[in-house]
Amino acid sequence: MNRHTDCDTREHILTIGEQLCMHRGFTGMGLSELLKTAEVPKGSFYHYFRSKEAFGVAMLERYFEDYYRRLTVHFTQGEGNYRDRLLAYYQHTLTQFIEQGVIGGCLTVKLSAEVCDLSEVMRAEMNRGAQRITALLAQALEKGRDDGSLAFNGEAAELAQVLYSLWLGANLQAKMSRSASALESALAHVRTLITAPAL
């Protein structure tokens, strides 16, 4: 098996696994179901991952790496100023929920409560990924304050943690209630926390 094929097969297993986890959760995704859906033999799975838990860590690492990359592009190249981009980041989830009725594509919302009690290494990987996203939010806040597009009180790192926690909680509440009201309230609060400078 050459390196290109080797990489493609591993990526394929991770992609299918993430899709299944979004629907069934991590514990609900059986290894046999994953192998059948991915159309790979059991030996191929264990060639790349020593256990289902190791697969879970790799899946989270891949998910957060992709999320970090996309968010970096959004904050550096998105439309408008930094305040516009920060608000658009939250608005996207709200719009998606209103249109689809679900929190789509977010492994953090789907797996956080489940895996934090299930696996210490998966919890640690999820926490590491969340910290990187929070640091990216803090960087966007600092740049927005520097260029005059937004204002806020206190330190950027502290506010970024508040914003991340607020939005994660609102996502979980929206998932429980099947209502967008928690996301709408959270977004309204975000708007007051990162105010537009007075003209």
Q: Which domains does the chain have, with CATH numbers?
A: 1-48 (1.10.10.60), 53-193 (1.10.357.10)
| pLDDT tens for each residue of 176-193 | 898 999 999 999 999 999
* pLDDT reported for residue 199: 58
CA atoms of 55 and 62, how far apart (whole Å):
10
Give the Cβ contact number of residue 197 at 10 Å: 11
CA atoms of 95 and 87, how far apart (whole Å):
12
Mean pLDDT of 7-33: 91
Which of the four pLDDT bands, split at 50, 70 and 90, describes residue 4? very low
* pLDDT reported for residue 70: 94
| pLDDT tens for each residue of 18-29 | 999 988 889 999
Percentage of the chain lying above the pLDDT 90 cut: 70
Is residue 149 within 8 A of residue 83, CB to CB? The reply is yes
* pLDDT reported for residue 64: 94
CA atoms of 112 and 127, how far apart (whole Å):
9
* pLDDT reported for residue 166: 93
Which of the four pLDDT bands, split at 50, 70 and 90, describes residue 1? very low
| Bridge partner list, 161 | none
* Total-model pTM: 0.87
| pLDDT tens for each residue of 47-71 | 999 999 999 999 999 999 999 999 9
| Amino acid at the residue 173 | Q
Q: Is the pLDDT of residue 14 over 70?
A: yes
What b/e readout covers 34-71, taking b as 16+ CB neighbours within 10 angstroms? bbeebebeeebbeebbeebbebbbbbbebbbeebeeeb
